[in-house]
Each structure stands twice: as structure tokens, then as C-alpha cells.
Amino acid sequence: MGAATRLGTGSNCAVEDALRLPEPCLVILVGPGASGKSSWAEAHFPPDVVLSSDRLRAMLGAGEDDVTASADAFELLEEVLRRRLRRRLTTVVDTLGLDRERRLGWLALARQHGLPCIAVAFDTPAAECRERNRGRAKRIPADVLAGQFRTWAATRELLPAEGYDLVITRQPVRTVAPVFASAAESVRRQQETPTNLRFGLQISRYTFSGGTAATRVRLREIAAAAEQAGFDAIYVMDHFRQIPQAGRAWEDFLESWTTLAYLAACTDRVRLGTLVSGVTYRNVAHLGKIVATLDVLSGGRTICGLGLAWFKEEHEAFGWDFPPTDERYALLEDALQLLPLLWGPGGPPFEGRVLHLRSTASYPRPLQEHVPVVVGGGGERRTLGLAARYADAANVMGDLATVRRKAAVLRQHCQEPGREVQLTHLSTALVAANQSQLGELLERHRPRRFSAAQYAAAVHAGTVEDHIGRCRDLAEAGVREVMLSLPNLDEPDALEPLARLIATFR
């Protein structure tokens, strides 16, 4: 978030309307005693992230009101804060926050570790503070509270100029993965000026509940749920054992095109394809035959994903050659030219850089007049260049800034051949119906070595509204299809929240 100031009034709005703060961040509460700081922190943050000077006084002294323990309490607070920010953990500092030197020191510490810093100003009327104070078992002395009001009056004017990423008053907030920090504005744009997007579901794991024997049934259930949710396509990874990014080598992993043939029999509407078929895995003419066969049996719903292939260990394990990069690029370019000939009329010979066929006659032809080809990979010079010349779409990954750059590069490549090639985007996403469900999903799926915030950032974990914002941002960056891989796909209701997300872009 760029430097900004947001001073407003509190609200009882729903959690989904709460202000999104990027996780991790430092939150500094500022206000006089009895202004509601601790109650606000308790309502919006788990207790483990709140550093309270009162609680530290109770720990180190005779109770929360033991002012003789204040020096020790603040010394401990400073040390804990340093350690937490060094580990990039969201932390809420619950003190008076009226000491400007301390505040600026905490802000500098957040900057040192690259964390956003938010100041929360508790501009509670003095009469309300005094009333709350009278209800306390241990009251703040009246003269002390009056001094805090005077200090607060000056502090309130200083906060906007002290350099925080955001200055807010007490209002509903929640922390989100950084990608969702500006989701509210993006959601608003989608509501006011809707745009369309296609959605694809990628199946990347086959370790379903019930083991291998349950695979067939679970895949059928997932396919049915995907169609019901409104997905436009289902994709599978084209590998022969699980990749390191997604699991372990010995996990169940199905052959891609055989799996797509089964999914064709389980579905009526969604398109079916690979993300993406490595060009080294099969004789290219054989791949063309496989694609045409699936297109006929699926009623014209096949998408051909094609890529350079990268998993060297997989090639070695199965005894396939893994040529140098330049040779694989030559093979990929030949394949992109050869496949449409295999799917088209007649059977002219083909002479490529590495592929040579006396005839390209292959029957039956696909039912589609044109089988869409998606090139996977974000290489800006060669991969996107090949996509611009030969493919219908280029599939990329990465954050929003990366997508914008890839889109610009693809447009530039498309100028010379005078073609229009769509951009698609693949990412992992954990989508929850609401904030409560999101918390449950994070705790259930995060590995022990990850904090909830770290895991949420890694898998783009958010509510439906968060993902509406993210998808709108991707659409504005040039993406025409969002492809999602869900970490919780084995759960029976995993696809239910996606229906609302997809419907928003129809």
C-alpha cells in the first residue's frame, strides 16, 4: 500500500466489508486510556499477535496497574516486537501509543523489515473514556487521564504526517494476504462496470480420501461439481509422477490424456485440456492423434496445452531424452506448426527443423474446426514469441505486476504477425465462503512449518469477495481465463464458494 491516510468513523459493517490490512503488518494503537484500544484489538485479532503493555505489567509486576513494572514491561515489549517483526509476523502494539519517539521507533522497525505499518487512532470522546474508567475495578487517576487527553489532542494532529502506510480510526478490519489488500476497490469496479472472465479448474493431485480405489468416484464428483459451479474448463497436469512443487514423487499421479478421456465421459459441457503437455513426452504426431480422438469422444471440447518440458528428473526416471533448451524450443516450434496440419484437411508433408513427416493425413479429424492451442510458460523472448505466432493463448503464472509485464510483451510479439493471442493465468487458490470458513481452512491445510499468514500468502487464501477483487485485477491486466488449482479440492464442498465467484464474471 502506498502512503495514505484514512481517518473516518467506526462502523458495525459485516466482516466482508471490513478494511483489509496486508498480512504481515505492524498495527500501532494510539489513544488515551479507556478509549477502547484493547477491546478493539481483541475483536479483530487473535490474542497471540497482540503485544499489550498492561498484560506485560501483570506478568512482570503485581498486576496490570502496577506502574512500577512499566519500565520492565516496555523493555520486554521492545524485545518481543523486534523478534516478531524480524520473523515477519503481524503484531498489534496495544499501549497508549502517545510517546512520539516510541511510535516512530516502531515505525522505523517495521520499515527495516519491509512490513506495512498502520496507526489506529482512538478518537473516543473524553466523556465516554471517563465513563468507562469509572466502571473499572482499578481506575486511572483523574489527573493522569486528563493529561492523556491533552497529549492525545496534540498526537491526533501529528499522526497523518508521521509516515504510516495508513492511519485509521477504530473500525472493522481484517488482515489478508497482500494480493487482496486493495480488493475492496476492485470488487466495487466489478460491481459497477462488470467484465467477463472464463474460469478453469486444474486438477494437480490425486491423493484423495479413500486411497487409489476411490480415485474414479472422486474424480467424477469433482467434474460434476465443477460443471455445476460454472467452470468453463477442467485441466490436468501432464506429468508422469508428482512434481516437487505439488507433492511427493511416490504419490498417486494419473496419466493426463487417459484421465481427460474419463472426464469427457463424466461431463457434458466443460472443455478439457492439459496444462501443459511437455513436447518431449510423446511423438508429436501421436499427440495429435490423441487430441483428435479426445475431441471426437468429448463432442468437440478439447484444448491442447503445449510446453517446453522442464522436469529433467522425470525424463530420466522414465528413460526419455531431455534435449538442451535450444533443441526443445525447435521441437516446440515444429509441434505448433505440425499439429494444425494433422487436424486439418488433406495430408501435406511436413518439413520442420527437427520433425519430418511424409504425410500429415490423420483421421478422424477433430470435431472442432479449430482445436485451441495454449502455450504454457512465461519466457518473454522465445516462449511468448512462439505463442504470438502459432497459439491461441499463452498461459502464465505470477503476481499482478508480472502478469501486466507478460501481457505487454505478448502484445508486442503479436504486432509483427498481426495476430491476437489471449492471455490465461494459472495460480493456486484457497477460496472460502466467508472469513470464519477461511480461518478453518487455513488451520486445516497449512503445514506445521508455515504460519497461517505465510500459508495464506502462498496459496492465495481468501474469501469469495477477496478473489473477486483479485480476478478483476487480473482481467484488467489482460487475462481472459483464470485457472485455479485448489489445495482443498478433495473436500466435498470445496467448489461451492467458486460458484459465486464465477457468477460475478458472467
- The answer to whether residue 466 is domain-embedded is yes
CATH number, domain at 25? 3.40.50.300
Instruction: State how far Cα 459 lies from the chain centre.
Output: 5
What whole-number distance in Å separates Cα of residue 495 and Cα of residue 56? 45
Confidence band of 387 (pLDDT split at 50, 70, 90): very high
Q: Is the domain of 145 the same as that of 262?
A: no
- In total, how many domains does the chain have? 2
Domain-terminating residue out of 176, 206, 239: 176
- The answer to whether residue 106 is domain-embedded is yes
Tens-digit pLDDT profile for residues 240-269 = 999 898 888 899 999 999 999 999 999 999
How would you classify the pairing of strands 356-357 and 350-351? antiparallel
Q: Residue 463 in 3-state DSSP?
A: strand
Confidence at residue 274, expressed as pLDDT on a 0 to 100 scale: 97
CATH number, domain at 258? 3.20.20.30
Q: Is the domain of 258 the same as that of 366?
A: yes
The owner of cell 519500565 is 71
Confidence at residue 16, expressed as pLDDT on a 0 to 100 scale: 60
Q: Residue 240 in 3-state DSSP?
A: coil
Task: Give the count of beta carbons closer than 10 Å to the beta carbon of residue 210.
Answer: 10
Tens-digit pLDDT profile for residues 444-470 = 999 988 888 889 999 999 999 999 999
pLDDT at 13 over 80: no
DSSP assigned state of 68: G
pLDDT at 236 over 70: yes
Confidence at residue 405, expressed as pLDDT on a 0 to 100 scale: 97
Q: Is the domain of 285 the same as that of 143?
A: no
Cell numbers placing 45:
485479532
Task: Using the CB atoms, write b or e for 107-122: b if 16+ within 10 Å.
Answer: bebbeeeebbbbbbbb
Q: How many CA atoms lie within 13 A of 435 on its CB side?
A: 15
pLDDT at 421 over 70: yes
What whole-number distance in Å separates Cα of residue 414 and Cα of residue 81? 51
Phi and psi angles of residue 319, each rounded to the nearest 5 degrees, phi first: 80, 25
Establish whether the linkage from the previous residue to 47 is cis, with ω within 30° of 0: no
What whole-number distance in Å separates Cα of residue 120 and Cα of residue 75? 22
- Judge whether 78 and 56 are in contact, CB under 8 Å: no
Q: Is the domain of 166 the same as that of 202?
A: no
What whole-number distance in Å separates Cα of residue 179 and Cα of residue 394? 22
What whole-number distance in Å separates Cα of residue 198 and Cα of residue 269? 13
pTM for the full model? 0.89
pLDDT at 88 over 70: yes
| Helix axis angle, 126-134 to 142-158, nearest 10° | 140
Q: In 3D, which of 196, 105, 172 has the Cα closest to residue 422? A: 196
pLDDT at 475 over 70: yes
Confidence at residue 9, expressed as pLDDT on a 0 to 100 scale: 32
- The answer to whether residue 181 is domain-embedded is no
The owner of cell 470522546 is 125
Q: Residue 172 in 3-state DSSP?
A: coil
Q: Is the domain of 85 the same as that of 208?
A: no
β-pair partners for 481: 198, 424
Torsion of CA 322, 326, 328, 331, to 10 degrees: -140
pLDDT at 178 over 80: yes
**Most confident of the following: 104-108, 171-175, 490-494:** 104-108
